[in-house]
Amino acid sequence: MNEPLRYGLIGTGMMGLEHQRNLYAIPDVEVVAAADPSPTSLEWATFTAEGRDLATFADYRDLLAADLCDAYVISSPNFTHRGVLDDVMATGKALLVEKPMCTTIADAAFIRDAARDYDNVFWVGLEYRYMPPVTKAIEIAASGELGELAMIAIREHRHPFLVKVGDWNRFNDNTGGTLVEKCCHFFDLMRLIARSEPVAVSAFGGQSVNHLDELYDDRVPDILDNALVIVEFQNGIRASLDLCMFAEGTTHNEELSIVGDRGKVEAFLPSGLLRRGARSGWTAGVEESVVRDERVLVEGFHHGASFLEHLDFVRAVRENTPALVTADDGFWSVVMGVAAHRAIDERRVVEIGELL
């Protein structure tokens, strides 16, 4: 393929614009069209284009019918993903769908199965894998340096959910729930590091602070703002998530720890700090470094992860190679989030098998 790779954006909210800015920084790539039912969101996409040609559509189906693109990025609201994916997959074009792939296990299973026979690149936007210090920590764990892995711990302490068009992200029916909408990233990381499938999930959580004073059509938002989750994998590795979304007063928004029988590695964001050490070393044996990726031209909202993700996506499309983040990955990240919500709601350990 010698011609520029032509992209269409389906959904031009915050993440759609992030993708747009990243794609403009990649050689031999063009964003030629965008679709969003919100006139304001389309105006932002036109503004971001900075004078470049950009065809705009209020209905994504009109964008698909125009057949202007080689690849599509789907960053519409979570609850629309299943329907949009059905229509985009019917075109046979390459696609990248933002997380979560779907909001329910049934829809995620349907799309996973359909993607197995898809003749083009089907990629799920679980870009936390691409955050440079996280990528390095995963590489260290996979190299065997830490020995036999035993524990994974992830902590996210951050600000509340941002305001979205139509306030769609204030309700579980639209998002799949906080542990699906937001934490599918972290469940994906756990599974990637463990190299195993989850078998059981326990969790406690609630809505303690955020959005309780908001009202939308006489409804109070019902999204969780804090949770503690533990996941057990088939190979015996255990992983935990500590989530708090009213913790703006913090230095590191995300922290990852991986521990084996010979050592430990930690990654911190946004600083990019990486710590690694052997069990026998105590603090004197801990090495610290700041991890950056020189290829990153756009930092964006995810420390360059979206840019790096797009480099691999473009390569897969041009070379006709399999996606590195698959519909199967998207499926399991949804399953683990749904299991965590059920564990909270029913105050019990949830066996993954009962959800499948």
Residue 281 has pLDDT above 80, yes or no: no
Start-to-end CA span in the chain (Å):
41
Name the strand (E) or helix (H) holding 77: none
How large is the average pLDDT for residues 151-162? 96
How large is the average pLDDT for residues 304-326? 96
Indicate the class that CATH gives domain 5-125+308-323: alpha beta
Q: Can you give the pLDDT at residue 166?
A: 86
Helix axes 184-194, 132-143, angle to 10 degrees: 30
User: Is 305 in contact with 86 (CB distance < 8 Å)?
Assistant: no
Superfamily of chain region 129-295+332-355: Dihydrodipicolinate Reductase; domain 2 (3.30.360.10)
Query: What's the pTM?
Result: 0.95
Which stretches of the chain are assigned E, i.e. beta strand? Answer: 5-10, 29-35, 55-57, 71-74, 94-98, 122-125, 149-157, 198-206, 226-233, 238-244, 254-260, 263-269, 273-278, 287-290, 350-351
Q: How high does pLDDT run on average in the chain?
A: 96
Q: Can you give the pLDDT at residue 163?
A: 87
For residue 332, give Cα distances in angstroms to 3, 34, 125, 210.
36, 29, 14, 28
Q: Can you give the pLDDT at residue 300?
A: 86
Residue 192 has pLDDT above 60, yes or no: yes
Residue-wise pLDDT for 18-55, tens only, equals 999 999 999 999 999 999 999 999 999 999 999 999 99
Q: How confident is the model at residue 89 (pLDDT cuts 50, 70, 90)?
A: very high
Q: How far is CA 225 from the centre of its chain?
A: 18
Helix axes 14-24, 39-49, angle to 10 degrees: 20
Question: What are the structural domain ranges in the chain?
Answer: 5-125+308-323, 129-295+332-355
Residue 283 has pLDDT above 80, yes or no: no
Identify the weakest region by mean pLDDT among 28-37, 76-85, 275-284, 343-352: 275-284
Assigned token pair, 46? 């036109």
Strand partners, 201: 231, 350
